[in-house]
Amino acid sequence: GAVVSQHPSWVICKSGTSVKIECRSLDFQATTMFWYRQFPKQSLMLMATSNEGSKATYEQGVEKDKFLINHASLTLSTLTVTSAHPEDSSFYICSARVLLGEKLFFGSGTQLSVL
Amino acid sequence: SQQGEEDPQALSIQEGENATMNCSYKTSINNLQWYRQNSGRGLVHLILIRSNEREKHSGRLRVTLDTSKKSSSLLITASRAADTASYFCAPSSGGSYIPTFGRGTSLIVHP
């Protein structure tokens, strides 16, 4: 089955530092990747959609300069939280889809804690 | 894009009982998918039902779809403690749709 690897699973960082989260499709080409943010017991909030080789499309209210998304290849997308602050602490999840695919394949998520 | 609304928000049952959760959506769809999320993990795809299907089975899972009512239900039979998780539906209007999710149904199965 299709596997999406997300790394790291958890990260603790100091306020003001930047954190990079990687999302890799291991056995398929992910033409589209999605990044979500989830607070405890809440829904997944879509942050942005990225297509390989294109700039990401951000949802309303998501700061593109703060959450940098790069989708340089068909198997890798990265989310960089720049100058992280405590309010950025959350669970971040990526998902991937093949071209015109119906199913989404999710990474296992990254718990970010900013001190 | 559209998101499904799951109901109930929380469900607590004993092992061996059946669990039913519902999903409602607003506009016409090509298919509807159900996902499961264990605490602190990503989502896992469970089952996909197409708009021209009314019922689909996968192991202990049974999904129904009523396009006239714009609703779907997920039934888990003979539940197990390991079924404890949150369940989300994702109505889809095509390959280019942008998947969004509701709050999900939080299922707790007591051993």
Question: Which of B100, B103, B106, B108 would best serve as a mutation to test chain A binding (most A beta carbons within 10 A)?
Answer: B100
Whether B31 and A42 lie within 8 Å, measured CB to CB:
no
Residue B47 CB neighbours (<10 A): 17
- Residue B45 CA to residue B59 CA, distance in Å, equals 14
Question: Which of A32, A38, A44 would best serve as a mutation to test chain B binding (most B beta carbons within 10 A)?
Answer: A44
Average pLDDT, integer, range A38-49 = 89
Whether B42 and A108 lie within 8 Å, measured CB to CB:
yes
Q: Give pLDDT, residue B94.
A: 65
Q: Give pLDDT, residue B3.
A: 82
> How do beta strands A110-114 and A10-13 pair?
parallel
User: pLDDT of chain B along its 111 residues, tens only?
Assistant: 678 899 999 999 999 999 999 999 998 888 999 999 999 899 999 999 999 999 999 999 999 999 999 999 999 999 999 999 999 999 987 656 777 888 999 999 999
